[in-house]
Amino acid sequence: MSTALNPDEHLDGSGNRIGPALRTEALEQLLTERGLVDPNVMDKFIATYETAVGPLNGAKVVAKAWTDPEYKARLLAEGTAAIKELGFAGPQGEHIVVVENTDSVHNVVVCTLCSCYPWPVLGLPPAWYKDPAYRARVVREPRKVLSEMGCEVGDDVEIIVRDSSAEVRWLVLPQQPAGTEGLSEEELIPLITRDALVGVAHISAP
């Protein structure tokens, strides 16, 4: 007896189940074969928004907060408005709440239902963020998952898992590394990574 289809699944011509990843791959192959899409251009476009444009915006927000206490206060009080001050707004960025990592609290972000993500400041969500294993495990065993990702959090530090949704998207304000207090915003920006803004990495001093 067959079971009900997952909402993301469809049947092919032979009655086999196919998920969104396979459908996307098939569509990309079809468009490429017809000369409608250049795969090199597409890869560059995706890489730009996944690792450059979006995360760079987030890094600018954090660097501003590290160097401007008044801006930091506004950012923690009203994230969306403070981020918009720097010109970063748009779809998926309407309701951003910023939470600060401290010596006693470490925040990590997940979207357990799908992959809600603050695109204006982080770009496209990485593959691991959308992976069902991450979405399920980081809620149950966050300290272990973070350790596996290279982010060690002391036993004396409370880990708070923030679940993003259509109503609110979370952004982590990481701790500023010791010894960087005198650096300018421009010098701090290259240190700030996308993963630190999700809470799965620490920021190291240069």
Residue ranges with strand state E in 95-157 = 96-100, 105-110
List Cα–Cα distances, 122 to 49, 65, 167, 189, 202, in angstroms: 8, 16, 17, 14, 16
114 catalytic residue (yes or no): yes
* Active-site residue identified among 114, 147, 165, 204: 114
**Six-digit token string for 103:** 């010596």
DSSP state for residue 54 in the 8-state scheme: H
Q: Is 151 a catalytic residue?
A: no
115 among annotated binding-site residues? yes
Query: What is the enclosing helix (H) or strand (E) of 170?
Result: strand 169-173
**For helices 69-77 and 53-67, angle between their N-to-C axes, nearest 10 degrees:** 120
Q: Which of 2, 14, 116, 147 is catalytic?
A: 116
Are 157 and 104 in contact, with CB atoms under 8 Å apart? yes
Annotated catalytic residue 147: no
Tell me: is residue 151 an annotated ligand-binding position: no
Q: Which residue has the tokens 């060690």?
A: 152
116 is in an annotated binding site: yes
Please pick, among 14, 115, 164, 184, the residue that the annotation labels catalytic: 115
Q: Per the annotation, does 164 bind a ligand?
A: no
135 close to 198: Cβ distance less than 8 angstroms? no
Question: Under the phi-then-psi rule, with left for phi > 0, alpha for psi from -120 to 50, and beta for the rest, what region is 30?
Answer: alpha
d(CA 64, CA 158): 26
Which position among 14, 111, 147, 165 bears the catalytic label?
111
Residues labelled catalytic: 111, 114-116
Annotated binding residues for Fe(3+), written as ranges, equal 111, 114-116
The annotation places the binding site at: 111, 114-116
